[in-house]
Each structure stands twice: as C-alpha cells, then as structure tokens.
Structure 1
Amino acid sequence: MRARTSYKVFRAVALAVVVLALLAPLAWMVAASLKSNVDIYDPGKALSFSPTLEHYGNVLRQANYLQFIGNSLWVAFAATVLSLILGVPAAYSMSRFNMRKSALVVLMARVIPGVSLLVPWYYVFSNLRMVGGFGVLILSHMFVSLPLIVYIMMGFFDGLPLELEEAGLVDGLTHIGVFRRVTLPLSAPGMATAGILSFIFSWNNFMFALVLSGADTKTLPVAIFDFVGYASIDWGGLMAAATVVTLPIMLIALFVQKYVVSGLTAGATKG
C-alpha cells in the first residue's frame, strides 16, 4: 500500500514537472506578447504587468501577417491534398503487392536531411524560374508530406482485412473499383490522420520557405524574422508573431487529437 502511494506521488510529481517544462516557454511567449518592450526586459514585471495588444495590432496591420497567414494556409493545404492524391494509391500498391524495397526508397527520402537538398533544388528551380512562387514551395513541402503519408497509410492498409476486397472482386468489381468503393471509405480515419500530420508539418516548415519563397509568397515561420534586426530584436512583436503561428496548430492538435490517435492505432494491428 505504501509502495503504491509512493508510486502515485512520484508519477504526479513527474507529470507536473514535464507539463511545467513544456508549458513554461509557451506561457512566457504569450505573456511577452502582451507586454511592452520595456516590461519584457524588467524582471520585476515577470508576473505583474499591464497587458497591451499593441504588438498584435502591429503584426496584423503593419506587417501584412494576414497575407502571410493566407500563404501558409494555401501552401500547407495544397501540399497536403496533392500528397494524399499521390500517396494513398502508392501506399495501397506497396501494401498489397509487398513492395517493401520501394517503401524503403520512400523512407530514405524521409530520412535524408532537407538542408542537403536545398542547394540543388535552388539551382534547378532557379533555372526553371520557379523560385519565389507558390509552386516550388508546394513541391518542396510535398517532399516531407508524401513519405509521411505513404508510411502512415501503408500501416493502415496492412491492417485492413483482405477478405473485404476479395468479396468485392467476387461481386464483379475490378481492383480499381475495389480500391475506390471498399478500401478508400474504410481508410478514411487513416487518411484524416495522415492529412492532419502533413498539414501541421507543412505549416511549421521554415527551412524550405526561407530559401525558396519570395516577398509575396513568404510563409508565417519565415515572416517572423522581420522582427529580428541587425542591432536589436523587437521581442514583443516577435512573441506576438510566434503566438499567431503557434496557437492555430495547438488548437488543431487539441481538437483532432483523438482522431490522430485512433487513426494511428487503427493501422497498428492486423485485421
């Protein structure tokens, strides 16, 4: 009994420490975005300060962040949709025809550091006069999204019973018809999981957009650098911009958490 009580106390303390370590930077970010730049540098105003929305006004009005929000939404949405269109059939083929070597090649594309590809990408896309446009950003983000979707959906398709597809073939459907009418509806939770994770990764991507975007196609993670100057940093504006980037993804993750977990666990076992 004493050992069980000690374990519960230890678990509660450990969870509290982990939660505090994760939430403290976020709390400081939100608090700093509501302070004046003078209060940010004043240790005495760490908890007691007069909140102001001035930095958010500067971010949304003067820094054109509404345009950057639209750019991030468009790039993340387009990259996710195109990756689903290409990745779901590819994952189904690899799962049903045991194309493990092809799957390994896709995994290698996911493992390769993206920074090692930026120089050749920039050279190729600059010669094609695509640098600075949305097309190159969407293609570069698909380099991250497509392998992720393929691997999530392969595990999901592996967990679907083959008997359902065989029943469709007996009823006269072709293999494509079985995929469209039987497999795709059953794989909706896995597709939702893959799409959500792909969107989040694309929204947060900084490195590709930093090199390949232009002034009019800049995404939110890159736009944050507008508050970092050569001699000084606008910490209030920087924290407000970071909050604008972070809160939408945190809300999405909070509301779709159960769908992500159910989608991942659905493909974790054989049917």
Structure 2
Amino acid sequence: MRRIRTREVFMTYIVLCVLSILALFPFLWMLLGSLKGRLDLFSIPPKIVFSPTTVNYTEAFVHKSFLKNLMNSVKLAATSTGIAIVIGVPGAYALSRSKARGDGLLLMMALLTRMFPPVVIAIPFYVLMVKMNLMNTMTGAVLAHSILTIPLMVWMMKSFFDTVPKEIEEAAVVDGCSNLAVFFRIVMPLVLGGLSAASILCIITSWNEYLLASVLTGKSTATLPVAIPGLISSNGTLWGEICAVGTVVSLPIAIFMLAVQRHLVKGMTAGSVK
C-alpha cells in the first residue's frame, strides 16, 4: 500500500509539472523573444541559446512612449481599486448588517453590472463621457473602471462581513465603542484577508481591461494594453517590442500575485471561524 501511495503521489507531481510547463510556455517564449535581437528572433530553427539584449525594451520604453502608457496603467489600476475600497467596503458592510427591504435587489443590480460584457456598455459610456467632457482623460477611464471594480468589491466583501459574528460587535458596543470604532478596530482586522483578495482581483480587472480603455482614452492617456496594437503597422510588425511590452504587462501582476498569494488564499478560503 505504501508503494502504491508513493507511485500515486509521484504520478500526480509529474502531471502537475507537465501542466505547469504547458501553461507557462507561452509566457516563457514571450520573455525569450523580448531578449532576442531581430536575427535571433526570426532564426529557423528557433534559437534557445543566444546572446540576450535589451534593445527591444530600450526601443519600446525609451524611444517610444510606452513608459508613459505603463504609468497610465498603474494610475488607472491603483485609483479605480482605491475608489472601490472607499465606496465598496462600507457599502458591503451596510448590506451585510442591514435587514432593510430591497437589499437583495441592490445586490442583484450590482451583479448585473458584472454580467454584461464590456462591449455592451462601451457605447453608453462613450456617449456619457462625451457629454461630460471627459473623453480622452484619465478621470473618465477611472470612472468607467470603477463601475467594474466597485460591484466586485461589494459582492466579495459582503460575504466576508457575513462571516463575522454580530455578537463580537455587540460586545464592543457594550464596552463603549462607537460604530466607527467597531468597524475599523473590530471588524476590519477580521476581514483583512478578504480585503486583500478583493483588492487583488480589482487590480487585475483594471490592469487587464482593454475595451473600455481603448474607447475612452486618447494617445496621452492610453494604457499599456491599449498601446500594444500601435506596434503593428502597414510597414510590418515589431515582434521583439511586442514581446517586451507584453512581458512588462504580465510580469508586474505575476510578481504581485506571488508576493500576496498567502493573503489571497487566506481571503478566498476564509470561513465562519476566525
């Protein structure tokens, strides 16, 4: 039985390793392509051993305006997530503790905003931003992305607030805590894992979003995913620079996920026992 168990564990790890290699291969190939010169990039058969160069990164982020696009992506993701936290967390707490009629309808309306594909709301957002004189501005893009991140924050945080026993809050009120003190000093420390998980998902949603950003932003406010198609023209496709920009788009999120994976797993698996 011990040999059978060892064999099963070994085969499981083999399958997981193969699946991991298949999943990571496109990213690794893009990373290698970003470090190749033009001759190495188009060599047949493909070169695995080559002299790495940073010319693609230099061309994209120094000679072109992709550094500005990168900063736009950072500002958009950070600001929309911050707005989602400021508005969504108190809203989720209120919905969790309120027993008023119509709470379920509010939650359903928030969920509907996540069910619609971005292409459905792109034109209404475009018309709205034109009338508000917010086209091609970072403010307009932030407002549009906040519409996507706030419902996500509300839905996730409400489930985490529901796991906090109300008796803890009642005991704090008996000890003299105000409502704000109960919220910030008692409840929030218990749901920090959930807040981390929700914030991570909001950042990823805003960072990777393409359609709304491409419709609502202009040349000076375009995000990094929106700027990548500019490397494809009638004169040809700059594959090396596309690989470099694609790597920069993917790598920060990957590093961020690895850095906070403990909080993400804790938040996503949090139960009623704290």
Shorter-chain TM-score category? Answer: over 0.9
Identity over aligned pairs, percent: 35
The code of the aligned residue for 1:197 comes to L
Q: Which runs of 5+ in 2 are unaligned?
A: none
The superposition leaves residues 206-253 of structure 1 with CA deviations (integer Å, 9 ceiling, x where unpaired) of: 111111111111111111112111352110010001111111111111
Q: Does structure 1 residue 207 correspond to structure 2 residue 215?
A: no
The code of the aligned residue for 1:200 comes to I
Q: Which residue of 1 aligns with 2:76?
A: 75
Q: Following the alignment from structure 1 to structure 2, what is the Cα–Cα distance between the partners of residues 226 and 180?
A: 46
Q: Please give the residue correspondences for 1:131-142 in structure 2 after superposition, counting only pairs within 5 Å.
A: 131-142=135-146
Query: How far off is 1:60 after superposition?
Result: 1.5
Q: Following the alignment from structure 1 to structure 2, what is the Cα–Cα distance between the partners of residues 48 and 186?
A: 50
Q: Which residue of 1 aligns with 2:33?
A: 32
Q: Does structure 1 residue 50 correspond to structure 2 residue 51?
A: yes
Task: Check whether the contact 1:161–1:270 (CA below 8 A) recurs between aligned residues.
Answer: no
Q: Which residue of 1 aligns with 2:125?
A: 121
The number of aligned residues is 270
Q: TM-score normalised to the size of structure 2?
A: 0.92
- Specify the SS of the correspondent of 1:104: helix
Q: Following the alignment from structure 1 to structure 2, what is the Cα–Cα distance between the partners of residues 4 and 183?
A: 44
Q: Does structure 1 residue 101 correspond to structure 2 residue 102?
A: no
Q: Which residue of 1 aligns with 2:165?
A: 161
Q: Following the alignment from structure 2 to structure 1, what is the Cα–Cα distance between the partners of residues 30 and 86?
A: 37
User: Over aligned residues, Cα RMSD in angstroms?
Assistant: 1.8
Q: Please give the residue correspondences for 1:1-271 in structure 2 after superposition, counting only pairs within 5 Å.
A: 1=1, 3-98=4-99, 99-266=103-270, 268-269=271-272
- Specify the SS of the correspondent of 2:45: helix
The code of the aligned residue for 1:137 comes to A
Q: TM-score normalised to the size of structure 1?
A: 0.93
The code of the aligned residue for 1:269 comes to S
The superposition leaves residues 111-133 of structure 1 with CA deviations (integer Å, 9 ceiling, x where unpaired) of: 11111000111011112211100
Q: Following the alignment from structure 1 to structure 2, what is the Cα–Cα distance between the partners of residues 78 and 270?
A: 33
